[in-house]
């Protein structure tokens, strides 16, 4: 299991961006310790900024830094299944052309979907299955129905550098995804707890609900700007499902550290 999280904030929001990113990261830290990363895009930026490293979340938490004008964020912790974390391009956020994204789950037909695209596997020995999601998004211009080509389990989010101001979020089958709404914007995470932690440390009140399987959202300006349905792969079943908690000590350490960081903000 991996963990994903992020937000779309309204222009002019006074939310402390870095603290919100740290809150989301600390709360999902237990879901993977093979790698950690985040991506953001500030108004006027052509390209997304990506920060990732092959460590648990606890070794990045203090150094997370998100500019205060930033309104789009993706956060990821990795428990890898395909694509060894020693290859930096396998770790999330993953890039395919103009799309930068994060994923929790398993895609079983990634090689088939990536084969026609010359820009795939941009780094030697890159094999991560998640890239197929972002290839489908890139080459379909983020069409929700195109996600029906994917086989496996999926909760995902991505930025498309051709679509400034928008975060795309989708839940297929087999992986959880929660969404929280507030005046400041829309937040999403693999767990309800991550939204609750963000509420506590960022002084926001979120209306929380689990996103139904087969749902695609476009988040812009801190609101849901688009909602579509697609047919997820309901035939995929894991023979030996991985437990949701993969690094039990990480969350406790990160939440303790988060409390100290919040005290000095």
Query: Hey, what long-range contacts does 160-166 have (CB within 8 A, 24 or more apart)?
Result: 160/98, 160/99, 161/41, 161/46, 161/47, 161/48, 161/98, 161/99, 161/100, 162/98, 164/41, 164/43, 164/45, 165/43, 165/71, 165/72, 165/220, 165/221, 166/8, 166/72, 166/218, 166/219, 166/220, 166/225
- Name the least confident of 72-86, 129-143, 187-201, 238-252: 238-252
Q: Which residue has the higher pLDDT, 239 or 186?
A: 186
Q: Which residue in the block uniquely carries the two structure tokens 């990160």?
A: 254
pLDDT, tens only, 124-134: 789 999 999 99
Q: Which two tokens stand for residue 230?
A: 């697609």
Q: How many CB atoms lie within 10 A of CB 118?
A: 7
The position carrying tokens 């801190």 is 222
Nearest residue to 189 via CA among 4, 37, 35: 4
Alpha helices in the chain (DSSP H): 17-28, 110-114, 131-140, 192-202, 248-263
Per-residue model confidence as pLDDT tens digits over 90-138? 999 999 999 999 999 999 999 999 998 877 887 778 999 999 999 999 9
In order of 107, 108, 213, 217, 255, the CA distances from 229 in angstroms are 19, 22, 9, 9, 35
pLDDT of residue 123: 79
Q: CA-to-CA distance for 3 and 241, rounded, in angstroms?
A: 15
Weakest mean pLDDT among 104-113, 146-155, 186-195, 242-251? 242-251
Strand partners, 216: 170, 228
- 166-171 and 178-182 as β-strands: parallel, antiparallel, unpaired? unpaired
What 3-state DSSP class applies to 56? coil
Q: Are 177 and 213 in contact (CB under 8 A)?
A: no
Residues 5-19 have pLDDT tens digits of 999 999 999 999 999
Domains and their CATH numbers in the chain: 3-263 (3.60.20.10)
Q: What is residue 160's three-state secondary structure?
A: strand
């Amino acid at each position: 299991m991996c963990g994903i999280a992020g937000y779309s904030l309204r222009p002019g929001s006074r939310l402390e961006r870095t603290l919100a990113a740290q809150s989301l990261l600390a709360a999902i830290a237990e879901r993977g310790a093979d790698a950690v990363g985040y991506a953001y895009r500030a108004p006027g930026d052509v390209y997304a900024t990506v920060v990732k490293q092959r460590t648990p979340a606890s070794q990045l938490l203090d150094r997370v830094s998100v500019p205060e004008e930033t309104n789009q964020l993706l956060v990821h912790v990795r428990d890898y299944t395909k694509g060894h974390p020693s290859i930096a391009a396998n770790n999330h956020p993953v890039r395919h052309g103009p799309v930068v994204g994060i994923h929790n789950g398993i895609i079983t037909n990634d090689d088939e979907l990536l084969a026609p695209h010359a820009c795939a596997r941009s780094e030697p020995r890159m094999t991560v299955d998640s890239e197929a999601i972002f290839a489908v998004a890139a080459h379909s211009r983020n069409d929700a129905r195109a996600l029906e080509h994917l086989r496996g389990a999926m909760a995902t989010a991505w930025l498309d550098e051709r679509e400034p101001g928008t975060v795309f979020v989708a839940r297929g089958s087999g992986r959880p995804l929660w969404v929280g709404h507030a005046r400041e914007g829309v937040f999403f995470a693999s767990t309800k707890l991550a939204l609750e932690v963000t509420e506590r440390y960022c002084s926001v009140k979120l209306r929380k609900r689990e996103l139904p399987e087969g749902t695609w959202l476009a988040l812009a300006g801190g609101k849901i700007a688009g909602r579509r349905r697609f047919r997820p792969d309901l035939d995929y079943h894991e023979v030996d499902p991985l437990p949701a908690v993969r690094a039990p000590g990480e969350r406790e350490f990160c939440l303790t550290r988060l409390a100290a960081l919040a005290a000095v903000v």
